[in-house]
Chain A
């Protein structure tokens, strides 16, 4: 297991990452400040370039923070179990019904009693499959 030997230890050492981000924020803030100073002194083009670079730096910081948040949330979350559906068909009346998978279900095995004809005979499990929810479409 990792952690027993200091050489083998891996960890998400994010202090250096934050140091880099902090450095980038400082540089960006300085660039924006100097950009505005240049603009006031009528150096429009260098001023605009400085502001542009500063904003780009801040955007980069924001992007990295969002990426880090995404990674941390993926790491902490327990993987969700799949949604599996059991489809059954009545051997007498042909009535078809679906329900969430129950442990012990298997294809060509016996399912629940038919709710329609009430023949007392259990329905036949015809298929078991992964239910994929419909994708939400954007604008």
Chain B
């Protein structure tokens, strides 16, 4: 058969095949090939797509490690902190058992504080030349590098699982998630730069609103990584609470709120935070509502809700919309405009809802990297 084909191609066949027959033959072979191996070819192409993303995330993860190592070396008295860094990149907080949910919030809160103390303590030992703010930035930088590392390991796990078992469901699901994974990885890359250099990030929008309200008054330390300031807006006494800047920390607004609320009764409590926008919505737009405007794992939200409910205070939320990428990368002009709008809106709400000489508590939630 092939001999006949080759002889035909060379024009030396005794019985030449006409071109139509040859074309039919080629298409028949291709048709049978796709019938038998079509799915395999498709899976092969999908696997190549996954490999490409895996390689990119691998490069990003390496970049994260490199940037963290450079930052540590800059502030470290130890010549090579790479062993410490590798240990930190695999660091985990084991969640408490939730079969009996009663009291799980306090158990989780305790675990988170223990983990933070340990990480900060170790950073203090290794990066002994760094100041408080720098140490907080390093702590967040390591967290981002560890997240990139985890993202890479999970992606690699499912890729190898798909390859080993030939499970097309795993492979196709993984391919469907690739754009979202790349978006997250890109956002984490931006966060690496923000924490390395100390750029303010979108998530700091709430804290920035609080800083705007408090300026030019001095903020005083209160509780763990938090600070408080007393100011006045249109004859109303305003207590402003935010995490302590300019290092990268979100603090413990729940603990600080409980502490502040214990001492006095407020006519109104306003929480300001950054919120994830839905696709198609404009970044930097401000919306508001009722309830605790705070994200995270939920422990701080629980504490605030409990303290507010006990005192029967009114709780308003003002939220600035942004994407996940904007939340963890340097502040964009749109988000900055949103911060100005939110500051103005908080002033309006205070004026509208609180009588003169009334007391208001404004809680600016967010990461204070690059914000006083």
* A interface with B by C-beta (< 8 Å): 2, 7-8, 10-12, 16-17, 27, 31, 34, 37-38, 46, 50, 71, 74-75, 78-79, 81-82, 84, 101, 103-109, 127-130, 132
| B200–A128 touching, CB < 8 Å | yes
Q: How far is the CA of A50 from the CA of B20 in the complex (A)?
A: 10
B-side contacts of A11, CB under 8 Å:
51
**Stretch touching chain A among B54-62, B109-117, B121-129, B261-269:** B54-62
Known contacts A82-B199, A109-B246; is-contact A7 B51 (Cβ 8 Å): no
B-side contacts of A50, CB under 8 Å:
19, 23
Known contacts A12-B51, A75-B59; is-contact A106 B246 (Cβ 8 Å): yes
A-side contacts of B190, CB under 8 Å:
82
| A10–B54 touching, CB < 8 Å | yes
| A34–B330 touching, CB < 8 Å | no
25 pairs, A vs B, C-beta closer than 8 Å = A10-B51, A10-B55, A10-B159, A10-B160, A31-B23, A46-B19, A46-B20, A46-B23, A74-B56, A75-B52, A79-B63, A82-B193, A84-B330, A105-B198, A106-B246, A107-B211, A107-B372, A127-B331, A127-B336, A129-B330, A129-B331, A129-B333, A130-B331, A130-B332, A132-B332
| B19–A106 touching, CB < 8 Å | no
B371 contacts the other chain (CB 8 A): yes
**Closest-CB distance, A84 to chain B (whole angstroms):** 5
Q: How far is the CA of A87 from the CA of B293 in the complex (A)?
A: 29
| B55–A75 touching, CB < 8 Å | yes
**Closest-CB distance, A2 to chain B (whole angstroms):** 7
Q: How many A-B residue pairs have CB under 8 A?
A: 99
| A129–B336 touching, CB < 8 Å | yes
B-side contacts of A75, CB under 8 Å:
52, 55-56, 59
Most interface-central of B22, B51, B336 (chain A CB within 10 A): B336
A-side contacts of B199, CB under 8 Å:
82, 84, 101, 128, 130
**Closest-CB distance, B11 to chain A (whole angstroms):** 11
B215 contacts the other chain (CB 8 A): yes
| A104–B198 touching, CB < 8 Å | yes
| B336–A81 touching, CB < 8 Å | no
Most interface-central of B48, B199, B331 (chain A CB within 10 A): B199
Q: How far is the CA of A75 from the CA of B197 in the complex (A)?
A: 24
B345 contacts the other chain (CB 8 A): no
Q: Quick one: closest B residue to A74, CB to CB?
A: B56
A-side contacts of B208, CB under 8 Å:
107
Q: Knowing that A109-B372, A128-B199, A129-B333 touch, tell me 15 more A-B residue pairs with CB under 8 angstroms.
A: A2-B156, A10-B51, A31-B23, A37-B19, A46-B20, A82-B193, A82-B329, A104-B198, A107-B246, A128-B200, A129-B336, A130-B199, A130-B330, A130-B332, A132-B332
| B370–A106 touching, CB < 8 Å | yes
Q: How far is the CA of A127 from the CA of B336 in the complex (A)?
A: 8
Q: Quick one: closest A residue to B246, CB to CB?
A: A106
Known contacts A46-B20, A128-B200; is-contact A105 B372 (Cβ 8 Å): no
| A81–B198 touching, CB < 8 Å | no
Q: Please list the 9 inter-chain residue pairs (A to B) with the smallest Cβ-Cβ separation, ordered nearest first.
A: A108-B372, A106-B246, A130-B330, A129-B331, A106-B370, A107-B371, A34-B19, A129-B336, A130-B332
A-side contacts of B60, CB under 8 Å:
79
Q: How far is the CA of A46 from the CA of B23 in the complex (A)?
A: 10
Q: Quick one: which of B155-205 are within 8 Å of A by CB?
A: 156, 159-160, 164, 189-190, 193, 197-200
A-side contacts of B160, CB under 8 Å:
7-8, 10
Q: Quick one: which of B320-344 are within 8 Å of A by CB?
A: 329-333, 335-336
A-side contacts of B35, CB under 8 Å:
none
| A132–B246 touching, CB < 8 Å | no
B-side contacts of A82, CB under 8 Å:
190, 193, 199, 329-330
B26 contacts the other chain (CB 8 A): yes
Most interface-central of B44, B56, B197 (chain A CB within 10 A): B197
**Closest-CB distance, A35 to chain B (whole angstroms):** 9
| B63–A78 touching, CB < 8 Å | yes
B251 contacts the other chain (CB 8 A): no
